[in-house]
Amino acid sequence: MSAPPEVVERAAALRSELHHHNYRYYVLDDPEITDAAYDRLFRELQALEQRYPQLRTPDSPTQRVGAQPGERFAEARHRVPMLSLGNARDDGAVRDFDRRIRKDLDADVVTYVAEPKLDGLAISLLYEDGVLVRGATRGDGSIGEDVTAQVRTIGAVPLRLRGAGWPRLLEVRGEVYLPLAAFERLKQHMLASGHAPFKNPRNAAAGSLRQLDPAVTAARPLTMFCYGFGAVEGGDLGPTQSGALAALRDWGLRVSPESRVVTGADGCIDYHRSIGARRDGLDYEIDGVVFKVDDLQAQRALGFRARDPVWAIAYKYPAREEQTIVRSVEFQVGRTGAVTPVARLAPVDVAGVTVANATLHNIDEVHRKDVRAGDTVIVRRAGDVIPEVVAVVDALRPPDTEPVRLPAQCPVCGADVIRAEGEAVARCSGGLTCAAQRRSALKHFVSRRAMDIDGLGDKLIEQLVEQGMVRDPADLYALTVEDYAGLERMAQKSAQNLVQALARSRRTTLSRLIYALGIREVGEATAQALAAHFRDLKPLMTADLDTFIVDVPGIEGVGEKTATALLAWLQQHPDAGPGEQPLADWLAGLGIRGLRPPAAARIAERWPDLAALRRAQVADFLGGKRSRIEGVGPVVAAHIVSFFAQPHNRAVIDKLLDPGIGGITWPAPPAAEGVGADRPLAGKTVVITGTLSRPRDAVKAQLERLGAKVTGSVSTKTHYLLAGADAGAKRAKAASLGVKILDEEDLTALTQGAYAPDAGDV
Ligand code: IVH
């Protein structure tokens, strides 16, 4: 099908518009439109290309990621070899370099292009008629690896050069790198997902680019600075290096904004100093600066010595990695309770900064690197990031070292250290009292959406904690106007106001109080759900994991496909029903593929009435862990349970509720009304009988949470009998009165909203 001319035109317009916005975003770092607007244009082009595949040109912005993963990289021969650079280690070496050049050129002064030497991965881009046809790594300098598909995924690499005037054939040279912030994120991500992270940004860049699957490369935010060129045919770049860089910039390639033209050795040395002073603030790793003779004819005249150009030199900065000894491994408790291993080091100078501590991230990291007290390690400091231990020098391990173990108790307050399943970070559970977390716990407690105590700013909290006047939130309520008035920047009046604000905050709501406790991962919405579910603090405090999470058995013989088909059928036939037929038989007879009679029987057993079955979800058939309360999954539940299990925390809560200290109260939740989603037994009277799998008190509490009134004997007023094993007389009486009998499984189904006992009989 050939595309109508207006479609051809539109596709071309979209391509050039997208190229433009890509350039604004990735090269200039100055987008003109929102990401969403870009996506719209992108999807429009994608749709046109899908309809008319012949419109899909290789330089189309849609074709950045598209190539299939390769088996291995093909060889790519560079037209002009990629060289390395000689090094200068001090100012004297730079002066020698400049003196030699001036002598060779017989010049009094020489100007240079100076720019940062990025620590990434050298790449050569080949453009033919302005279109990117190949990307290659440096390899041995003459032959590299063909990484075209990978390079195409880098937003800063133009698939087509902008403007005009480019040579027919052009090899562009530059450095692909991963910005430090992206490197940190990638590292955290890899750590969290149990992968060994890259050791440094250079490895991360190389590892991301040299991926046989370009989709992996595309997912890493690589970028590139271009600093030179190789072969140039059918055109030229002008007479100077600086002019050539300006031309590359005009053609849409990304060139370092730090590049400058400097004069003589002094200019080079000043440049080295000024970039060096800013090295820690740059968003990329550099290992030096490079000086190149600006005059291209002079470059040609000077030529090469072995593998290095005579006309260029790198002036290095001190290494970012040094070797030192681990004196001990200690655990620090952060403001949020994170328990982090830290290596205490024999102090060592790393690129101008003395390093005596290095983070080890988390206990898994410590074990993965197997860092032990006494070890010799390589430490690394990048930019403003906290120094870290990169690796242990195995050969230098002394005898009798011990592996590091996560402490069971918080080194600050002694509360249990908890590590939730699947989480890399271990935490102190002494939230309300742990000195390390005290400030942040208090700030949170008084914040507007928590207890809303006006007049207790951060500065005041700092003072209260520092002077030992407040150890936990309850202490705030015990202080008097005189106590507060004695603090810095407090007067009688402001102290009075504060005490009044504290008094006002005593009357609050249950959800605010729960939120104010600062339980990990319990935000406002979760606090509200907990308050609605438990309706009081005590049942929440004594709840166990099973209260939050239920392990729902799946329906044997029903997989995802069958369940989906069944539910879809029911949805399409809202009025169908079994009539006089048993539900199981009716279900088995529906002709649902894969639904055999035994499975139909099990479904009818789980959902004895059709209305409940209609409300079921596919997941209910498959089984697994379900949360009973919105927003409370296994991890949050574990945080809640361990928080209330800490005697410290319970003691603070007791103080908060003690009428003589905190005196915090909240209005009783309104009496249950109607049948709500989480109160399916509201207004119902239930009697319990027989032997249950759990203590009867727990079952009673659960029924009450569901809205039921639990009484002792069966009468005409009884709505349901919950019957365990060996139920006797009460069961018989209930049966004779026509009282509906539930078993424990019904109760479970009920808490999940999967079973409504009275859907059919009210
Ligand atoms: S010029 C003939 N300029 O450093 C000129 N190289 O040791 C050779 N590098 O692998 C390179 N930033 O990838 C030059 N601004 C820059 C550079 C730079 C980083 C890398 C380059 C090469 C190595 C040379």
Mutate to test the pocket of ligand 1, among 82, 290, 317 (most ligand atoms within 8 A of CB): 290
298 lies in the same domain as 190:
yes
The answer to whether the beta carbons of residues 254 and 27 sit under 8 Å apart is yes
Q: Which of 146, 157, 145 is nearest to 225 (CA)?
A: 157
Q: Is the CB of 453 under 6 A from ligand 1?
A: no
Task: Tell how far the Cα of 201 is from the centroid of ligand 1, in angstroms.
Answer: 16
Nearest-CA residue for atom 3 of ligand 1: 227
Q: How confident is residue 758, by pLDDT bands cut at 50, 70 and 90?
A: very low
- Residue 675 in this model has a pLDDT that exceeds 50: no
> Which CATH number covers residue 737?
3.40.50.10190
Ligand 1 atom with the smallest distance to the CA of 314 is: 7
Q: Report, as an integer, the average pLDDT of 710-720.
A: 84
In a domain, 476, yes or no: no
The number of residues making up the chain comes to 762
Question: 175: Cβ below 6 Å to ligand 1?
Answer: yes
Query: Rounded to the nearest whole angstrom, what is the distance from the C-alpha of residue 122 to the centroid of ligand 1?
Result: 7
pTM: 0.62
Check whether residue 180 and residue 37 sit in a common domain: no
Q: How many domains does the chain have?
A: 4
How many CA atoms, within 13 angstroms, populate the side-chain half-sphere of residue 176?
A: 31
CATH number at residue 82: 3.30.470.30
Distance 386 CA to ligand 1 centre (A): 28
Whether ligand 1 lies within 6 angstroms of the CB of 122 is answered as: yes
Q: Of 316, 333, 366, which one is at a domain's C-terminal end?
A: 316
Ligand 1, residue 175: give the atom nearest the CA. Answer: 13
Query: Tokens 């000894």 identify what position?
Result: 325
Task: Answer yes or no: is 725 within a domain.
Answer: yes
Q: What is the pLDDT of residues 578-607, one digit of tens each?
A: 989 999 999 999 999 889 999 999 999 888
> Of 80, 82, 84, 296, which is best to mutate to test ligand 1, by the most ligand atoms within 8 angstroms of its C-beta?
84
Answer whether 119 contacts ligand 1 (Cβ < 6 A): no
Alpha carbon distance 577, 573 (integer Å): 9
**HEC sequence for 266-325:** HHHHHHHHHHHHHHHHCCCCEEEEEEEECEHHHHHHHCEECCEECCEEEEECCCCEEEEE
Q: Could you give phi then psi for residue 330, rounded to 5 degrees?
A: -115, 165
603 shares a domain with 562: yes
Question: Relative to the CA of 117, which ligand 1 atom is closest?
Answer: 12
Distance 88 CA to ligand 1 centre (A): 14
- Residue 518, token pair as written in the block: 């600062």
**Ligand 1 mean position to 162 CA, how many Å?**
25
Q: How high is the pLDDT of residue 66?
A: 64
Q: CB of 313 within 8 A of CB of 94?
A: yes
Are 291 and 232 part of one and the same domain? yes
Query: What are the E-state strand segments in 306-382?
Result: 308-309, 312-316, 321-333, 338-350, 353-359, 376-380
> For all residues of the chain together, what is the average pLDDT?
89
Higher confidence at residue 260 or residue 212?
Answer: 260
> Which atom of ligand 1 is nearest the CA belonging to 259?
15
Q: How many CB atoms are located within 10 Å of the residue 583 CB? A: 19
CA-nearest of 412, 437, 435 to 519 is 437
Q: Assign 137 a pLDDT band (cuts: 50, 70, 90).
A: very high
Q: What percent of the chain has pLDDT over 70?
A: 97
Report the Cα–Cα distance between both ends of the chain, in Å, rounded.
63
The angle that helices 435-446 and 458-466 make with each other, rounded to 10 degrees, is 140
| Closest listed residue to residue 746, CA positions, set 715, 708, 697, 714 | 708
The confidence score (pLDDT) of residue 405 equals 94
* Domain co-membership, 83 together with 51: no
With a 6 A CB cut-off, is 85 part of the ligand 1 pocket?
Answer: yes
Closest residue by Cα to atom 9, ligand 1, is: 117
Give residue 475's pLDDT.
95
Same structural domain, 293 and 222: yes
Q: Is residue 29 domain-resident?
A: yes
CA separation, residue 239 to residues 74, 295, 302 (Å):
35, 6, 15
Atom 12 of ligand 1 has which residue's CA nearest to it?
117
Query: Quick check: is 117 catalytic?
Result: yes
- Out of 316, 332, 354, a domain closes at 316
Q: Does 81 share its domain with 42? A: no
Same-domain check for residues 59 and 82:
no
> Looking at the structure, do residues 183 and 296 belong to the same domain, yes or no?
yes
| 16-27 per-position pLDDT tens digit | 999 999 898 888
Last residue of some domain: 316, 331, 364?
316
Same-domain status, 282 and 223: yes
- Determine, yes or no, domain membership for 427: no
Residue 102 located in a structural domain: yes
Q: Which domain holds residue 563?
A: 554-622
Is 117 touching ligand 1 by the criterion CB < 6 Å?
A: yes
Whether residue 708 is contained in a domain is answered as yes
Domain match, 214 and 268 both: yes
Beta strands in 142-217 (DSSP E): 143-145, 169-177
Q: Is the CB of 84 under 6 A from ligand 1?
A: yes
Tens of pLDDT, residues 49-106: 999 999 988 888 888 876 677 778 899 999 999 989 999 999 999 999 999 999 999 9
- Check whether residue 220 and residue 265 sit in a common domain: yes
481 part of a folded domain: no
Q: How far does the centroid of ligand 1 lie from the alpha carbon of residue 265, in Å?
A: 20
Nearest CA to ligand 1 atom 22: 84
- Give yes or no for residue 704 having a pLDDT over 50: yes
Q: Is 245 in the pocket of ligand 1 (CB under 6 A)?
A: no
pLDDT above 70 (res 757): no
What atom in ligand 1 is closest to the CA of residue 138?
10
Q: Which tops the pLDDT comparison, 703 or 482?
A: 482
Closest approach atom of ligand 1 to CA 119: 19
CATH of residue 19's domain is 1.10.287.610
Query: Is the pLDDT reported for residue 159 higher than 60?
Result: yes
493 within a domain of the structure (yes/no): no
Ligand 1 neighbour 275 (Cβ under 6 A): no
Q: Are strands 720-723 and 740-742 parallel, antiparallel or unpaired?
A: parallel
pLDDT digits (tens, 9 = 90+) for 510-548: 999 999 999 988 999 899 999 989 999 999 999 999 889
- pLDDT for 732 beyond 90: no
Query: Please, which residues have CB within 8 angstroms of residue 403's CB and are 6 or more apart in sequence?
Result: 367, 370, 372
